[in-house]
Structure 1
Amino acid sequence: MADLLSVENLSAGYGRAVVLSDVAFRLGEGEALAVLGRNGVGKTTLLDTLVGVTRRFTGSIALGGREVGTLAPETRAGLGVGWVPQERNIFRSLSVQENLTAVARPGPWTLDRVFRLFPRLKERRQQSGASLSGGEQQMLAIGRALATNPRLLLLDEPTEGLAPIIVQELLAALTRLLREEKLAAIIVEQHAQKILPITDRALILERGRIVHQSDSAALLADPMPLERFLGVTGR
């Protein structure tokens, strides 16, 4: 499988503070990677660095064989990096449809296709972003990222703080994206049980360093690293 993303010897942080140290991993075309770890270990910083909103001290980030570590966030987005931050960052004053069309780029993910993935958004297409529930705002944030037609989708804690029924809907949509559509993705998640079944590979961060990498299925079968680094089992 050809590498879509290659990260080598990456150290990054904010200002003078180094949060990530010597991070290295690869992601193939159509692969999904779970990034696990406790709070404050650098998971969000990793996504922020891939997007380009941190300070990179050392290392390289290559997307499709092209070095992007020195490029501005908007340039990386134009090259196919889609981002769903924890804060969602939807346009609260715009309607659902306007949120999706404002950032849309040509490609297979059309407005209608996003609405098929998230029927709730179609029902609320004329409502403002501010009027949506937290779960609907998360769907909109994911839909908006898809409307940019990314090669790589980055999701930061997509199920955090949502009602169980909404979590089920989101996980079903993500399963379709990852398993049927084969969209490459990196998903930051604290709850391993939610995300390992629908990802191909996983890594665990501890104090800004990768302390474990494996296939997701292997981590589910032998949850000892989860017990050691997260204090939970994969069951």
Structure 2
Amino acid sequence: MLLRLDAVDAGYGDSAILSQISLSLAPGQALAVLGRNGVGKTTLLKTILGLTRLQAGRVLFGDADASRWPPERRARAGIGWVPQERGIFRSLTVLENLTAVARPGPWTPERVFALFPRLAEDRHRGGEALSGGEQQMLAIGRALVLNPQLLLLDEPMEGLAPVIVDEVLRALSDIFRAGGIAGIIVEQHARKILRITDQAIILERGRIVHRAASADLAADATPLTRYLGVG
């Protein structure tokens, strides 16, 4: 197993946001994290990254107990992060954004350009000149050239035009289907993200209230209607 959370309680300071979260993820698997705003989805990602206060339980990565690892050690161990704010270097070109952080491995800037042809065309443009969709592609590419084992994405389709959403979905599907990288994706577009993930969980008030294979949840929308108001 690549990642395992055992009965995790976590939050900020003395405030508990997550309660009794248990999940596991094998190499190459993709997990959708669904739920309404404010239920703890981003906090779950930040807990895996080591950016919250772990109040109970354990976070295991590979064969190691990573519960007390600082964020930088988790990143070095192979946890990649695509934040909702994207966080690209706006003063650098697309190519410089990728080469500045690249680590040895199968994911190179050229492979990112093959995944996102729009970025290949704009490789010498500055980050500030990119559209929102191109910035999102660059944020994903920058995480990939770190050659992580696990990729965490926080609402990667937020604010994107439908045609760009489709491009990002195809790219994420290619990443996970190629194997070697597992993914956890927080997303509001439940129906779309279920198409490219293996498993799904629904959070409510910091707890997992439903878990299922993504295909099963897509086929029976009852839990989506109950917890997300999605038909």
Among 104, 107, 126, the alignment partner of 2:105 is: 107
210-219 or 173-182, larger mean C-alpha shift: 173-182
After superposition, the CA RMSD in angstroms is 0.9
Residue identity opposite 1:131 in structure 2: A
Residue identity opposite 1:122 in structure 2: A
TM-score, normalising length: structure 1: 0.96
Matches within 5 A, 1:1-235: 3-181=1-179, 183-233=181-231
- Please tell me whether the aligned partners of residues 5 and 24 of structure 2 are also in contact (alpha carbons under 8 angstroms): yes
CA offset digits 1:132-161 (Å, max 9, x no partner): 100000000000000000000000000011
Gaps of 5+ in 1: none
Residue identity opposite 1:212 in structure 2: H
The secondary structure found in structure 1 opposite 2:201 is: strand
TM-score, normalising length: structure 2: 0.98
Q: For 2:118 and 2:51, how far apart are their aligned partners in 1? A: 31
Q: Number of aligned residue pairs: give it.
A: 231
Which consecutive aligned stretches of 4+ in structure 1 deviate over 6 angstroms post-superposition?
none
Deviation at 1:183, TM superposition (A): 2.2
Gaps of 5+ in 2: none
Residue identity opposite 2:150 in structure 1: L
Deviation at 1:196, TM superposition (A): 0.3
- Please tell me whether the aligned partners of residues 108 and 145 of structure 2 are also in contact (alpha carbons under 8 angstroms): yes
Residue identity opposite 1:92 in structure 2: R
Deviation at 1:181, TM superposition (A): 3.7
Q: For 2:162 and 2:195, how far apart are their aligned partners in 1? A: 17
CA offset digits 1:85-139 (Å, max 9, x no partner): 1000111111111111111111100111111011111111111111110000000
The secondary structure found in structure 2 opposite 1:50 is: helix
CA offset digits 1:14-64 (Å, max 9, x no partner): 122111011000001111000000000000000011111111111111111
The secondary structure found in structure 2 opposite 1:58 is: strand
Structure 1 residues 224 and 43: alpha-carbon distance in aligned structure 2, compared to 1, 3 A threshold: same
- Please tell me whether the aligned partners of residues 149 and 180 of structure 2 are also in contact (alpha carbons under 8 angstroms): no
The secondary structure found in structure 2 opposite 1:198 is: coil
5-14 or 172-181, larger mean C-alpha shift: 172-181
Q: For 1:97 and 1:185, how far apart are their aligned partners in 2? A: 24
Deviation at 1:182, TM superposition (A): 5.1
Residue identity opposite 1:164 in structure 2: P
Q: For 1:155 and 1:214, how far apart are their aligned partners in 2? A: 20
